Amino acid sequence: MPLTCQQLLTQYPNQWQAATVHPFLTQCQQGSIQAAQFNTWLVQDYHFVIEFTRFAANLIQAAPTAHLDILLGGIIALKDELTWFQAKATERQLNLNQALQPTCKTYCQFMAGLTQQPYPVKATAFWAIELAYNQGWQGHSPMPAPYAEFADRWGNAAFTTYVELLAQQADSALQDTDETTQAQAETAFLTIARLEKDFWQMAYEGS
């Protein structure tokens, strides 16, 4: 039986909850997050999105033609997202040219390594990364200003639909894979769950 995205979520509920439910998001929802902590996250996430964009480009290189339309739409959204991050940093008077925190660096290195994996593994990882943001921000909505803008960006219904389409593409890619590739996809999913949890926590450790 081929592996599916839903099977991963069903098999590892605790790991996935840790990736999408964290005091950082709760405190954003409560409006109690400290500015320094949020700013640490914002700057590091900007660097993450740069590397994620490179990962997305690599995914497109390997994707079947039928998957290109959805993935290209994601690239357009990432272009807007990088510009948006720059605007938010300007509003907060933040320097984006800061060094990567160890957690962010580890995550970026992991994504760089994914470029050497088969397409089904990449597609599963890409879905998982986007799903973590979608569920994390959506699950802690609504948020007060100024955090509502962030929750709306990743928690809105259109982004949820996009993530569902990514799951369909990942499932399609996994359909005819061998056990080794499925195991690699499972490992990637679990690694992302751990790294997402660590990334939220980084806001406290790096501020």
Say whether 176 counts as a known binding-site residue. no
C-beta of residue 137 within 8 angstroms of C-beta of residue 151: yes
179 in active site: no
Q: Please choose, from the candidates 36, 51, 26, the residue with its C-alpha nearest in 3D space to the C-alpha of residue 137.
A: 26
Say whether 45 counts as a known binding-site residue. yes
| CA 86 – CA 182 distance, rounded (Å) | 37
Say whether 186 counts as a known binding-site residue. no
From the list 164, 179, 186, 196, the catalytic residue is: 196
What is the SS3 string spanning 141-176?
Answer: CCCCCCCHHHHHHHHCHHHHHHHHHHHHHHHHHHCC
Binding site listing for substrate: 45, 81, 130
Residues labelled catalytic: 196
